[in-house]
Structure 1
Amino acid sequence: MVGHVNEADLEWDELETGATRFRRKRLGGAADAEQLGASLYELPAGARSWPFHYHTANEEAIYVLAGTGTLRTADGGQALERGDFVALPTGEEGGHRVVNTGEEPLRYLCVSTMQEPDVTVYPDSGKLGIFAGAPPGGDSAARTVDGYYPRDAAVDYWDGEER
């Protein structure tokens, strides 16, 4: 069956913590997409999206619908404006964070593959996000493993095991 949804029929999810502030509508999940994620984002002037990160399993893309901003990448930053499409590969080179540097709301569509397991890496804070059972942006109730951990919290394979 073909999934279909109109964004006007969906409520906004809102997140505000520090400089991170946005509204989001999860279009992919609402249309019952299984291997493709899609979310409509709206950032008010001066706001930022998710902290700078990259995925090890999921490619993402951003299409700017309205407004202006900056996309922080592993290579620095680049201006964003209406009509821009940016492909974000897996791995360090796909690191990103969207910042609204304009006066008006920045509205964009973010599309991603929905592979799991996935590890998200947050270079600024030195942490990892681990997701299995459902990828980031997916159904959190379906996850069998998820959490955020210090990147340098490695332990020996045999620690805590009976030898």
Structure 2
Amino acid sequence: MSDGPVNEADLDWTDHEHGDRTFKRKQIGDAAGGEQLGASLYAVPPGKRLWVRHYHEGNEEAIFVRGGTGTLRLGPDAEEHTLEPGDYVALPAGEESAHEIEAGDSELRLLMVSTMNEPDITVYPDRDMVGLYAGSPPGGEKADRTLSTYLDINAEKEYWEE
């Protein structure tokens, strides 16, 4: 249950730096007591990228551009779309929503929301990789996860093989 409104100014940024994937994040949904819907504010410096291109099999996401410009690479073919303030993008579960975001010449500010269903599978098509999550969804409390792993998408084992 919510304790009332949460103001973004009262929350600290969490910095993420992984090469050209550099951004800041405020998890406002969690701070407000959200359980079934996650929401995060992002600030992406000029020319930097957000998360690795991916899509979810069990969760829907959405993007609302609050400031700056950028490029969205969307779908199986990574078709490029310009992002501007006021743009909204729905990302239903599945391959058609594979996405990656890159900031333009100024800082890109986004509000991203998602359902918080678990278990979930996240597919990273450019890396032939999958992420498996149970106990807590991506973006949820890591300490509550009973399964959180990344695997080669082609890793297989026969059911009866020991």
1:154 deviation in Å? Answer: 0.8
How high is the sequence identity, in percent, across the aligned residues?
53
State the TM-score, normalized to the length of structure 1: 0.95
Alignment correspondent of 2:69:
68
Alignment of 1:71-110 (within 5 A): 71-74=72-75, 75=77, 76-101=79-104, 103-110=105-112
List gaps (5 residues or longer) in structure 2: none
1:30 deviation in Å? Answer: 0.6
SS in 1 for 2:30: helix
SS in 1 for 2:52: coil
1:41 deviation in Å? Answer: 0.3
Paired residue total = 159
Letter in 1 for 2:103: N
SS in 1 for 2:96: helix
**Runs of 4+ in structure 1 over 6 Å off:** none
Alignment of 1:31-70 (within 5 A): 31-70=32-71
1:19 deviation in Å? Answer: 1.1
Letter in 2 for 1:147: T
Letter in 1 for 2:46: A
SS in 2 for 1:119: strand
List gaps (5 residues or longer) in structure 1: none
Residue deviations 1:92-137 (CA, integer Å, cap 9, x gap): 0011111012x21100100000000000000000000000000000
1:154 aligns with 2:141: no
Letter in 1 for 2:21: T
Of the three residues 138, 143, 146, the one matched with 1:144 is: 146
State the alpha-carbon separation in 1 of the partners of residues 154 and 97 from structure 2: 21
1:2 deviation in Å? Answer: 2.8
